[in-house]
């Protein structure tokens, strides 16, 4: 999910919300490339993952550029991006990753997050990166808003744009707010 916020740092508003598609329909098994690679020999598995990663990066670049263009057309300056990170466990070598279902899921998440980071960098957007488990604590510190109040404000921001208002959208909103805060310091 991508959420863009604008306005004053104390009370930004959501100006865009959309799903970013990073799965290339032209690349078989690109939705879950590590799952698909599990039954292949390592050389073929690496090729599949490399193709899937390249496709995800291409789609991410297109999507980020489209969002920037749409926001600029609405007279918004796009100053930064943010991404919610996973736990930060390093991805082991491919053979070890493919031997563990949990590591496969972790690696797939990292593949798509990396594509979004790459796309943002290609568009010269500084990226705020926050681990999911630290998001609200970090937000409370950076924005100087108690965590409970911060959760209430994020929930209220969602009411202004209507359902659905899922956890990933709430997280995307908070990291966007943190990116806006970081950009104000530059």
Confidence of residue 104 (pLDDT cuts 50, 70, 90): very high
CATH of the domain at 162: 3.30.420
pLDDT reading at 74 higher than 80: yes
pTM value?
Answer: 0.91
**Strands 81-85, 127-131: pairing kind:** parallel
Confidence of residue 137 (pLDDT cuts 50, 70, 90): very high
Write out pLDDT tens, residues 141-173.
Answer: 999 999 999 999 999 999 989 899 999 999 999
Both tokens of 37, joined, read 């690679």
* Phi and psi at residue 164, to the nearest 5°: -75, 160
CA dist., res. 134 & res. 132, Å (int) = 5
CA dist., res. 174 & res. 84, Å (int) = 9
Q: How many domains does the chain have?
A: 1
Q: Which of 65, 163, 170 is nearest to 119 (CA)?
A: 65
Q: In the predicted model, what is the mean pLDDT of the chain?
A: 94
Write out pLDDT tens, residues 113-134.
Answer: 999 999 999 999 999 999 999 9
Domain extent at residue 145:
2-184
């Amino acid at each position: 999910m991508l959420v863009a916020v604008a306005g004053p740092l104390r009370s930004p508003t959501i100006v865009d919300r959309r799903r970013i598609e990073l799965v290339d329909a032209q690349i078989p098994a690109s939705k879950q490339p590590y799952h698909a690679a599990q039954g292949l020999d390592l050389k073929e598995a690496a090729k599949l993952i490399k193709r899937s990663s390249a496709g995800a990066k291409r789609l991410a670049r297109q999507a980020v550029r489209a969002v920037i263009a749409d926001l600029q057309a609405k007279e918004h300056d796009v100053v930064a991006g943010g991404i919610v990170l996973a736990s930060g466990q390093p991805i082991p070598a491919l053979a070890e990753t493919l031997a563990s279902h949990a590591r496969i899921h972790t690696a797939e998440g990292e593949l798509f997050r990396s594509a979004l980071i790459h796309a943002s960098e290609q568009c010269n957007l500084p990226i705020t990166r926050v681990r999911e488990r630290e998001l609200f604590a970090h937000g409370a510190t950076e924005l100087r808003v108690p965590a409970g109040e911060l959760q209430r404000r994020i929930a209220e921001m969602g009411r202004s744009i209507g359902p659905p208002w899922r956890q990933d959208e709430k997280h995307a909103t908070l990291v966007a707010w943190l990116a806006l805060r970081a950009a104000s310091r530059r």
